[in-house]
A and B are shown apart, each in its own frame.
Chain A
Amino acid sequence: MSAVTLTKDATTMVGRSLRLITRDVDSMITAVVLPVMILVLFTYVFGGAMSVGTAYITYVTPGVILLCAGFGAGNTALSVEHDMSSGMVERFRSMPVAAWTVLTGHVVASLAKTLVTTAIVFGLALLMGFRPTASLLDWLAAVGVILLFVHWVTWLATLVGVLVRSPDAAGGFSFFVMFLPYVSSAFVPVETMPSWMRGFAEHQPVTPVIETVRGLLVGGTPGAPTGDALADAALAAVVWCVALSVVFATAAGLAFRVRR
Chain B
Amino acid sequence: MSAIVTAEGLRKSFGRRARSVPVLDGLDLTLDEGQVLALLGPNGAGKTTAVRILTTLLTPDAGRATVAGFDVAREPRRVREVISLTGQQAAVDDRLTGAENLAMMGALAHLPRRMVRARVAELLTAFELEEAAGRQAGTYSGGMRRRLDLAAGLLVRPRVMFLDEPTTGLDPRSRLALWEVIRGVVADGTSLFLTTQYLEEADRLADRVALVDGGRVVADGTPAALKARIGEAGIELTLATVPDAGLVATALGVAPDGTHLRVPTDGSVAHVSAVLRAVEGTGVTVESWVVRAPTLDDVFLTLTGHAAARPTRPEEVAA
Q: What is A's interface to B at a CB cutoff of 8 Å?
A: 5, 8-9, 12, 15-16, 19-20, 23-24, 86-88, 90-97, 260
Contact = CB atoms under 8 A, between A and B. Distances in A.
Contacts of B87: 87, 90-91
Contact of B95 (A23, A91, A93, A95): A23
B95 A86 contact: no
A1 to B, nearest CB: 8
A94 to B, nearest CB: 4
Given A5-B110, A260-B58, A90 B85 contact: yes
B77 A96 contact: yes
Interface residues of B, number: 30
A15 B89 CA distance: 23
Q: Rank and list the top 3 A-B pairs by shortest CB-CB distance, nearest first.
A: A87-B91, A94-B85, A87-B89
B203 interface: no
A96 B55 CA distance: 11
A86 B108 contact: no
A68 B312 CA distance: 49
Contact of A19 (B88, B96, B109): B96
B56 to A, nearest CB: 7
A8 B110 contact: yes
Given A86-B89, A91-B91, A96-B77, 19 more contacts: A5-B110, A8-B107, A12-B107, A16-B96, A16-B104, A23-B95, A23-B96, A87-B87, A87-B88, A87-B89, A88-B93, A90-B57, A91-B152, A91-B153, A92-B108, A93-B57, A94-B57, A96-B109, A97-B108
10 contacts: A15-B104, A20-B96, A86-B89, A87-B88, A87-B91, A88-B93, A94-B85, A95-B80, A96-B77, A260-B58
A12 B109 CA distance: 11
A260 B105 CA distance: 22
Interface string B66-89: 000000000001001101110111
A147 to B, nearest CB: 25
Contacts of B80: 94-96
B90 interface: yes
Interface in B206-229: none
Given A12-B104, A260-B58, A95 B93 contact: no
B110 A19 contact: no
A23 B100 CA distance: 13
B247 to A, nearest CB: 53
